[in-house]
Structure 1
């Protein structure tokens, strides 16, 4: 009996481990019972015998990811002094922890992001988001307190939530790490009441991203309609929704016509992502901004649940670009050309110019807050972001 129980536990562990690996390499939408069983080295029937179905295995996996994350956080904290009380210590610790999470704990980081994407579309997974938000917030409040900046803990947790999502994207490893340090130094300047100047590495990365920004081939009207239909499908149901057949049905054209315009799924995916990016991020030359483009920093409450479909699609885009080398063309622009709309909003609120780094910090904070508020009502989202915006403006607006 004991051997049977041990064998069952071993198979459970292998299946959960296989799911974690698959979330990193393929994403939840691509996971199948057959592929998981092959990775785990168990029969397909083991999934149904031990977990009931694939969805219950997903729930078990996200519980395990949270448990492993809690152990990782505790290990990080045990390496730090109980109290440093020197605020200069915060920025390098922030950068080191985010980098470790996105590098050495990369499978957990991807698994968690996949859970957030699911929770934005399926309320059954919201329980893990709430547990994660509490775990992540407590972790960063503890770190900030040890650096003599306890009052910055909650906002820092939200900023690090957004920044760690972007740090999953790999562009040029050494430069990415240097830019992360400069970003964290800028955040600490914010917490001390000053705007942040753009450092040399972030300036280089931004200019290089602009110089090498992919020039997409212009599409005719029919191609544009197909691209936006594909973008809508990703926004509504994630990457698993994106097939040539589904896009043809949404665009009201034949399957053959979609296949003629976009011969491979990668080509269709790139077109969808380009359409998503153009919908969410206005042209740099634009001086106007729309509430849906500003995301969490809109002047009006959003209708419906957060995050909005196109902002969810940006999350899909970031995670996919971090995972798939075929989407590497988006890596530098997602990391280093972001914050255009956020920067305009921040400058308008402060009534003075802000640097590209200030805009990026504001963008990361908004991204983090959006994820912390998944599943809450529109009124709660609006109230929370207005309170946090007032705190930020009070800190850096003097």
Structure 2
């Protein structure tokens, strides 16, 4: 398929902007010919005059978003020529990139995430998803080279993949910025070989998130089956494919039973998100691993990667929380309780000579989720070898004893 010209026909331009708007506000579930035509103020027939299909229109919208992102990244890389060329300065730059991307380029951030959430059946989108990955890989490779972060660009890319998703979840602007700054400076301390800094903002929000963590509703056996089935349907086809009929078929229940338990599409979507949320917070429980058993960790992550559909369900949950303030009760916990279920895992891998902080646990969670996301969406035959190589790199950062040791 040809690439759209940088100066497309005005109608094409309006339709592409309408797609980008829908991805930011509502996601792929808002992509219909009638809605896009209304937003672009053109007849529905204009879509099929300029594009072969809605899928092709979305591919062109992805190309537009990625082209804008490439220009944005190039401007950042040009600007860092004036920045200190030292690992100590890296953390502040990392925080700036994430905040500027999620706030100033929010429409592009959602376009990227929608691209990764596309089902496997949408083959046209898959090439665009790989192009996004190459864009960020090259960006962080060049940025890390400037800041003299040796062998750190893959670690940074994995953490960026996750943290830039969580920063889309708005809670309290001042606190979110401060907590991101502390997390980023902690990452910088890893690369600089310095002690992790104090993180009072993150410590405060972590405690608050624990106090206000919503209890998931008690479900009977039938409702639990529906929750699991809804999460599976969401994972395989995204929210546009989540219907009572499909969930009933997957759960092997009658349509009436599913409709009685979850009468509306909104409630059914909430059930699917509940399933995805539970699966996310239960990952990497340290009780599953023996002390410092790196092989067990690697194989557990490889097992998590075995199905890209699980990763897409998690993406759908994260994107819904980022868009909808009504889901903020999920967002605060997802954002500020990262590392809680895996607490002790990094400490076990590092050993007793180096004390791991709660913020470092969160960074390690970012890294692990980034690994799962990357390898689930773009699987390869040597997944375990790649995971091991990345773990060797990140664990090498902890070879220095902490000052209090």
TM-score by length of 2: 0.88
Q: In the TM superposition, what are the counterparts of 1:1-398 in structure 2 within 5 Å?
A: 9-82=9-82, 84-118=84-118, 122-193=122-193, 196=196, 199-282=199-282, 287-288=287-288, 298-299=298-299, 302=302, 308-352=308-352, 354-373=356-375, 375-398=377-400
Question: Which has the higher mean CA deviation after the structures are superposed, 274-283 or 200-209?
Answer: 274-283
| Residue 23 of structure 1: how far off its partner (Å) | 0.7
Q: Is the 8 A contact 2:289 2:297 kept in 1?
A: no
Deviates more, 1:279-288 or 1:335-344: 279-288
Distance 1:26 1:271 in 2: 18
Q: Confirm or deny: 8 A CA contact 1:307 1:370 kept in the other structure.
A: no
Following superposition, the deviation at residue 118 of structure 1 comes to 0.9
Runs ≥4 residues deviating over 4 A: 5-8, 283-286, 303-307
User: What is the rounded CA distance, in whole Å, between the counterparts of 1:367 and 1:388 in structure 2?
Assistant: 13
Return the alpha-carbon distance in structure 2 between the equivalents of residues 157 and 61 of structure 1: 24
CA RMSD of aligned residues (A): 2.8
Classify the secondary structure of the residue corresponding to 2:85.
coil
- In the TM superposition, residue 92 of structure 1 has moved relative to its aligned partner by 1.2
CA-CA distance at 1:331 after TM superposition: 0.7
Pick which of 272-281 and 158-167 moved more. 272-281
CA contact (8 A) 1:303 1:378 kept: no
What is the deviation of 1:231? 1.3
- Structure 1: runs of 5 or more not aligned: none
Change (3 A) 1:92 1:147: same
Q: CA deviation at 1:182?
A: 0.6
State which drifts further: 85-94 or 29-38.
85-94
SS state at 2:169 partner: coil
Gaps of at least 5 residues in structure 2 are 401-405
How far apart, CA to CA, are the structure 1 residues paired with 2:235 and 2:344?
25
SS at match of 2:299: coil
Residue 52 and residue 377 in structure 1: after superposition, are their counterparts in 2 closer, same or farther (change >3 A)? Answer: same
Alignment CA distance shift 1:83-1:336 (3 Å): closer
Q: Distance in 2 between matches of 1:161 and 1:96?
A: 15
Report how far residue 162 of structure 1 moved.
Answer: 1.5
2:403 aligned residue:
none
The TM-score with structure 1 as length reference comes to 0.89
**Partners in 2 of 1:306 and 1:126 — Cα distance?**
18
Post-superposition shift, 1:53? 0.5
For 1:163 and 1:6, the matched residues in 2 are separated by: 31
Q: The residue matched to 1:260 in structure 2 has which SS?
A: helix
1:116 CA drift (Å): 0.6
